[in-house]
């Protein structure tokens, strides 16, 4: 039996949705460089880019299954610190808000990632148009 | 705080199906709107679009190339995806220091051949220095 996708009605503003723990593995850096180039390998830009990747992976792992066709309308992303190579990053996902605007379903989700020493690395708020 | 440069050095990336597939693998975002032309054609996007967050990587590169690693000590990006990014487009990211805030840039990602905004927003930096250690 397949689990039905999460719907707009399922989101409760203010509620935590779950957490995701993942290592900042060398494979992520290698994949990032395959897209953006290896000239800045090990750079702060790469570290911040991987922080965005970790936020996306956490959201996708926690908020699942999703209906196909969701679209990001807005992204707020605050870098507090950069993940170190190999570091274990714990990301907490919560629903901040949901609204219906112009017959579209908007959901605001916050993903906050912390390093293995507890320091906050990033806070992302993604505004999604949730597919029906 | 040292004075920031007026503009962020442009960086660019050409969007191909291979780039989209690689970014899908990297983020684990296999939303068919990015990967399935038949599905995407039936959505309000009218066709395949690239992942929005891919453009953020370009902004980070522009930031580092212009200011250095210290800029990431406390960087706050707030962007809106105003137009879809299509396969074949070459994206150019850049920024200009705001007249009303010496710590913030208006940032954008544009598609070169159409000169249209794909992403617009602001990038605020705190206690930025022109040189420094990676945070």
Return the number of other C-beta atoms located less than 10 Å from residue A79's C-beta: 25
ipTM of the complex: 0.94
Residue B46 resides in a domain: yes
pLDDT at A65: 96
Residue B2 resides in a domain: no
- Nearest-angstrom CA–CA distance, B78 and B123: 6
Residue B88 resides in a domain: yes
Judged by CB atoms closer than 8 Å, whether chains meet at B27 and A56 is answered as yes
Using a pLDDT cut of 90, give the percent of chain B over it.
86
Q: Min CA distance, B115 vs chain A (Å)?
A: 20
Classify A87 as helix, strand or coil. Answer: coil
Of B25, B33, B81, the CB nearest to A74: B81
> B15: domain range?
7-125
Classify B41 as helix, strand or coil. Answer: helix
Where residue B97 sits, what CATH number does that domain have? 3.10.129.10
Please, are residues A126 and A108 in contact by the beta-carbon 8 Å criterion? Answer: yes
Residue B15 resides in a domain: yes
Of A48, A68, A74, the CB nearest to B60: A48
Contacts of A35 (CB under 8 A, 6+ apart): B13, B19, B22, B23, B26, B54, B57
Residue B131 resides in a domain: no
Query: Is cis: bond before A65, omega within 30 of 0?
Result: yes
- For the domain spanning A13-130, the CATH number is 3.10.129.10
Judged by CB atoms closer than 8 Å, whether chains meet at B39 and A68 is answered as yes
pLDDT beyond 50 at B132: no
Which sequence spans correspond to the domains of chain A?
Answer: 13-130
Judged by CB atoms closer than 8 Å, whether chains meet at B74 and A78 is answered as yes
Please count the CA atoms within 13 angstroms of the CA of A83 that sit on its side-chain side. Answer: 32
Residues B68-90: tens digit of each pLDDT:
999 999 999 999 999 999 999 99
A42: nearest CA in chain B? B134
**Residue A10: closest CA among A104, A117, A70, A95:** A95
What's the domain count of chain B? 1
Residues B41-67: tens digit of each pLDDT:
999 899 999 999 999 999 999 999 999
Judged by CB atoms closer than 8 Å, whether chains meet at A32 and B26 is answered as yes
Q: Min CA distance, B25 vs chain A (Å)?
A: 8
pLDDT confidence bin for A62, thresholds 50/70/90: very high
Mark residue A20 as left, alpha or beta (left: phi above 0; alpha: psi -120 to 50; beta: remaining): beta
Which positions in chain A touch B39 (Cβ < 8 Å)? 68-69
């Amino acid at each position: 039996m397949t689990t039905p996708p999460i719907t707009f009605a399922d989101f409760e503003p203010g509620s935590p949705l779950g957490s995701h723990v993942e290592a900042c593995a060398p494979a992520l850096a290698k994949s990032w460089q395959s897209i953006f180039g290896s000239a800045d390998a090990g750079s702060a830009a790469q570290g911040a880019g991987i922080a965005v990747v970790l936020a996306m992976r956490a959201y996708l792992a926690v908020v699942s299954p999703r209906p196909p066709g969701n679209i990001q309308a807005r992204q707020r992303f605050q870098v507090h610190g950069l993940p170190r190579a190999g570091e274990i990053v714990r990301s907490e996902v919560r629903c901040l808000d949901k609204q219906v605007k112009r017959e579209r379903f908007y959901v605001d989700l916050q993903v906050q990632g912390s390093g293995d020493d507890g320091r906050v690395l990033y806070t992302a708020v993604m505004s999604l148009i949730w597919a029906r | 705080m040292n004075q920031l440069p007026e503009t962020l050095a442009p960086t660019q990336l050409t969007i191909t199906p291979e780039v989209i597939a690689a970014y899908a693998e990297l983020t684990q975002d296999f939303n068919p709107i990015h990967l399935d032309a038949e599905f995407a054609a039936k959505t309000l996007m009218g066709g395949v679009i690239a992942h929005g967050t891919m453009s953020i990587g370009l902004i980070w590169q522009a930031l580092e190339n212009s200011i250095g690693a210290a800029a990431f000590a406390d960087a706050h990006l707030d962007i809106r995806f105003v137009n879809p990014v299509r396969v074949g487009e070459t994206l150019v990211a850049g920024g200009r220091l705001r007249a009303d805030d010496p710590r913030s840039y208006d940032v954008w990602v544009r598609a070169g051949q159409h000169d249209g905004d794909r992403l617009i927003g602001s990038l605020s930096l705190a206690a930025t220095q022109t040189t420094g250690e990676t945070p």
